[in-house]
Chains A and B, each alone.
Chain A
Amino acid sequence: MEAVRKMVQTLWVFLVNGFWGFPLTRNIYQGPLKVICSPGLNCYSCPASTTYCPLGSLQQLLLGIRFSLETGNYYLGTFVVGSMGLLGAAFGRFICGWVCPFGLVQELLHKIPSVKLPVPKILTWLKYGFLALFVVIFPLVLVDEFGLGAPWFCKYVCPAGTLEAGIPMVLLQPDLKQTIGWIYWNKIGILALFVIWSIVSSRPFCRTTCPLGAFYGLFNRHRLIRLQFNAENCTQCKACHRVCPMGIHFNETPHSPECISCLRCMTQACNFGAISVEVAGYSLLDDALPAKKKTVENP
């Protein structure tokens, strides 16, 4: 299952970054596909990007909301929030585990041999602050003399934007070097921090900072497709605790907003059929569970 997941992740990297004509055009993709929402975190200023980043678009719409209303347009972000919500209500953080390009980058970095450290649980609350403040409130409220705000998360934090767009665009368009300032180097520093942190800890950006993961996590309990905990089959062996890349105790919090549904707990840890996948209440593994448990109890 882990190999399948890696293949799906890789496929999605190329699906949402499918414009390989950029070395010739020295510019970003400007076709009609860019009206489609990228499910995972993928900067739309990345030269290969074929979709829009929901976080970037939402901030852009919110920061210009006054100007939009004054000119008789009602660009309130409903299209973008609707797209994000449809994805969240259907899949929740399955998206983080299966299709997010920056999630894959962190997973690959974590394979580098090193000391491995846990991420302090208290830091997982930070991402909700980034979602509320840097994505919604600051772009909406902190405006200049023309009534325009700034895309705070993209501008000051997002390491995916630096990796996928900031660095490549400076290489593609050398003229941009003249405009580089402290914000750029600040973002390079943040990227370096997360690269190093990803080597020693599992998915630190997803767990502490990603506003998109925070948003999708809100749906984990009520999403269409979710993991199901079959308490009667659980032996409290805690094998699921040991394999979880997000540090979740699945048998204690089966609908944790941190769960990225990578299915490691189900496929690599639990031998008792205590974890399964269900779609809107329909368990995909109901028939298999009693037999599996019986096999374990009476080998």
Chain B
Amino acid sequence: MRKKFSPRKGPFALLALFLLLFLAGIALGEPTRVLEQAWSICLSCIGIG
């Protein structure tokens, strides 16, 4: 017999928290900055320069 399903609430609380952060980042325009960074070769990131 299948056990009674008792959902864990922890994961949903964490997902909600990080979704909030994610949306806050979008509201602050952070994706544009992330794109700018990701479009250029980060020489110091790869140990050059």
Contact = CB atoms under 8 A, between A and B. Distances in A.
Nearest to B5: A282
Given A81-B21, A222-B10, A166 B46 contact: yes
Contacts of B12: 224, 280
Contacts of B21: 78-79, 81-82, 85
Contacts of A43: 45-46
Nearest to A191: B47
Given A179-B43, A282-B7, 7 more contacts: A45-B42, A78-B22, A82-B25, A184-B47, A281-B5, A281-B8, A286-B3
Interface string B5-47: 1111011101101111111111011110111011101111111
Contacts of B24: 78-79, 82
B11 A165 contact: no
Contacts of B29: 73, 75
A165 B45 contact: yes
A141 interface: no
Interface of B: 2-3, 5-8, 10-12, 14-15, 17-26, 28-31, 33-35, 37-39, 41-49
A169 interface: yes
Main secondary structure of the interface of A (DSSP, over half): helix
Contacts of B47: 155-156, 161-162, 166, 183-184, 186-187
Interface string A33-61: 01100000001110000001000110011
B22 A82 contact: yes
A246 interface: no
The 8 closest A-B pairs by CB, nearest first: A79-B25, A82-B22, A85-B18, A82-B21, A79-B30, A89-B14, A78-B25, A154-B45
Most buried by A among B31, B42, B43: B42
A195 interface: no
Given A43-B46, A281-B5, A282-B7, A34 B22 contact: no
Contacts of B49: 176, 179, 181
Given A28-B41, A280-B11, A82 B33 contact: no
A75 B33 contact: yes
A267 interface: no
A89 B15 contact: yes
A39 B7 CA distance: 26
Interface centre among A60, A81, A88, A150 (most CB of B within 10 A): A60
B32 to A, nearest CB: 8
A162 B25 CA distance: 29
A299 interface: no
